[in-house]
Amino acid sequence: MIKGSCCCGAIQFELSEQPGMMGTCHCSRCRKVGASHLVFVKAESFKLSRGLDKISTFKAEPPYKYDRCFCSVCGTSLGEVLSKGDSFPVAANCLDGDIDIENQFHEFVSEKPSWLKIGDKAKQFEEHPFK
């Protein structure tokens, strides 16, 4: 069982299985909310165990389309944990323990600031890798 939580602990969740993939998004949205490292989880493996009433959502404005969830108490970015999709990204920063996974891609490298140096060999995409 993989556990995750926000900084203040109001929000807690569990993953019944290892996330399928990890990616890093360099778009300005992910950077500003501090959730550039994302793991992709199956909806059926994700269970929110605490804090649904503390989750706030920042609605994306066009051209951005993904709504961002965060803890309304401490501000921790959670990813898209209220998504209705079959799978969705969860901010890897929320995971409590370590998991055996490697970053598999970098997306929106076109929006990456020059001070941020990519330190792994994962594939890089100018924008979305999967269209």
Q: Quote the DSSP letter at residue 60.
A: P
Minimum distance from CB of 84 to Zn ion (Å)? 20
Minimum distance from CB of 26 to Zn ion (Å)? 7
Q: In angstroms, rounded to a whole number, what is the distance separating the alpha carbons of residues 43 and 64?
A: 22
Query: Residue 44 or residue 130: which is nearer to Zn ion going by CB?
Result: 130
Q: Which two tokens stand for residue 113?
A: 């600031």
Minimum distance from CB of 29 to Zn ion (Å)? 5
Minimum distance from CB of 16 to Zn ion (Å)? 22
The answer to whether the CB of 39 falls within 8 A of the CB of 95 is yes
Q: Quote the DSSP letter at residue 95.
A: B
Query: Residue 2 or residue 30: which is nearer to Zn ion going by CB?
Result: 30
**Which residues of this protein are in contact with Zn ion, per CB under 5 A?**
6, 8, 10, 25, 27, 30, 71, 73-74
Query: Residue 20 or residue 75: which is nearer to Zn ion going by CB?
Result: 75
Residue with tokens 């649904």: 52
Residue with tokens 């961002």: 68
Query: Residue 18 or residue 28: which is nearer to Zn ion going by CB?
Result: 28
Q: Residue 53 in 3-state DSSP? A: helix
